[in-house]
Amino acid sequence: MTIRETPAAPTTEVVLEAAGLTKHFPVRRKLRSLFKPVRFVHAVDDVNLTLRRGRVTALVGESGSGKSTVARLLAQLYPRTGGEIKLHGQPTRVRGGRAFRAYARRVQMIFQDPFASLNPVHTVRYHLTRALRIHQRAGRTPADLETALCDLLTRVQLTPPERYLDKFPHELSGGQRQRVAIARALGADPTALLADEPVSMLDVSIRLGVLNLLRNLKERLNLAILYITHDIASARYFADDTMVMYAGRMVEGGDSETVTQRPAHPYTQLLIDSAPDPDQIQGGTGSVPRDAGGGEPPSLIDPPGGCRFHPRCPAVMPRCSTDLPPRLEIGDAPGHWAACWLYDPAGAAPSGTPAAREIGS
């Protein structure tokens, strides 16, 4: 049995679409405050996101901005508080069992820490065989299974596969472990990969190799990839589209070149100013400092009204603290938008700010 090699040219078919995605976590209460009202962490609010075949979409933001929660909601690992997720155009809400397995066959997640995501007492062969069996792709004979296992390892460039099949996770380097985790995800034959900071725990010298592998898989398998990162410089290098998240809300989106070269939202501008040189992604630490742009992110239990960035914003206006800005089209490139009143065509935008119009969010 061979693993699917998609011959078709990349298309822009929508694989996964989230609209109004919201997640509020209840705050655990101490015994003495049991009679007080339950409070919630507003981790993700009203997020819209589209993943397309053959495209990498980066989700960038500071620590605690809600990136992993978005990925877990998209993977249906968390029940959502609100919103809708469509897979290949079909609304979905799965709660485990057979429906979850069917969903996971299409949507797979790759986690930050490959050591934690592989069981230390089992070999590479065990992890990959299990994935192939769960998703009914192990074939009928032992020879079929062996071919499928070798195919998976070859696909993630662990060659010759026989050298890796019977190794335990501790016998592999960090980069090799992450490649095994990617191979395991490919065992399901997914159409979407959700990669939550897939290289941030790896040695700087091997990050580029793993990102190049993901890009190669995107092209060969025509996958839709969500690439979560702190590192806006790597988003420019690796992702086709970039979305920027701040305190649980999306604040800017567009093609990566435009968002990173002509950032519109003051938060994105601060992120870029505090990020390492995009041309040096192999050398730098590649991560955005927690206090990028000065100040601290707000509490998500009681987030600021209006635009959540307004307490830190260098361009704050009176309405920013009361009115939530919609997505406003910037107009300098197709699909480039920012949720910022600076781009309100009806408002008094400062001179030099491109005219914008509101778009369906």
Cis preceding-peptide flag for 160 (omega within 30 of 0) = yes
Q: In this structure, how many other beta carbons lie within 10 angstroms of the beta carbon of residue 315? A: 15
In this chain, which stretch among 32-40, 61-69, 305-313, 335-343 interacts with ligand ATP, using CB under 6 A?
61-69
Per DSSP, the three-state class of 117 is: helix
Nearer to ligand ATP, 243 or 300 (CB): 300
Termini Cα distance of the chain: 44
Nearer to Mg ion, 44 or 56 (CB): 44
- Residue 242 interacts with ligand ATP (CB under 6 A): yes or no: no
Q: Which two tokens stand for residue 315?
A: 């361009």
Sheet strands side by side (includes 328-329): 107-110, 192-196, 224-229, 55-60, 241-246, 249-255, 337-338, 328-329, 357-358
Among the listed residues 24, 52, 53, 67, the single contact to ligand ATP using CB under 6 A: 67
Residue 41 contact, options Mg ion, ligand ATP, none, Cβ 5-8 Å cut-off depending on partner type: ligand ATP
Residues between 298 and 317 with contacts to ligand ATP, criterion CB under 6 A: 300
Strands 107-110 and 90-92: unpaired
Q: Which two tokens stand for residue 112?
A: 């930050």
Q: Which two tokens stand for residue 306?
A: 């209006």
- Residue 61 interacts with ligand ATP (CB under 6 A): yes or no: yes
Which residue bears the tokens 């009176």?
318
Nearer to ligand ATP, 172 or 193 (CB): 193
Nearer to Mg ion, 191 or 229 (CB): 229
In this chain, which stretch among 65-73, 181-189, 312-320, 324-332 interacts with ligand ATP, using CB under 6 A?
65-73
Residue 131 contact, options ligand ATP, Mg ion, none, Cβ 5-8 Å cut-off depending on partner type: none
Q: Which of 20, 25, 68 is nearest to 200 (CA)?
A: 68
Minimum distance of ligand ATP from residue 65's CB (angstroms): 4
Q: Determine the Cα–Cα distance for residues 13 and 5; give it in Å rounded to an integer.
A: 17
- Residue 256 interacts with ligand ATP (CB under 6 A): yes or no: no
Q: Determine the Cα–Cα distance for residues 55 and 73; give it in Å rounded to an integer.
A: 20
Among the listed residues 18, 41, 51, 172, the single contact to ligand ATP using CB under 6 A: 41
Nearer to ligand ATP, 62 or 151 (CB): 62
Residue 299 contact, options Mg ion, ligand ATP, none, Cβ 5-8 Å cut-off depending on partner type: none
Contact 125, 158 (CB under 8 A): no
Nearest 5°: the CA angle 131, 115, 247 is 95
Among the listed residues 65, 68, 108, 229, the single contact to Mg ion using CB under 5 A: 68
Nearer to Mg ion, 68 or 176 (CB): 68
Q: Determine the Cα–Cα distance for residues 326 and 110; give it in Å rounded to an integer.
A: 31
- Residue 25 interacts with ligand ATP (CB under 6 A): yes or no: yes
Minimum distance of Mg ion from residue 229's CB (angstroms): 10
Q: Which residues contribute to the site for Mg ion (CB under 5 A)? A: 68
Q: Which residues contribute to the site for ligand ATP (CB under 6 A)? A: 25, 41, 43, 61, 63-69, 230, 300
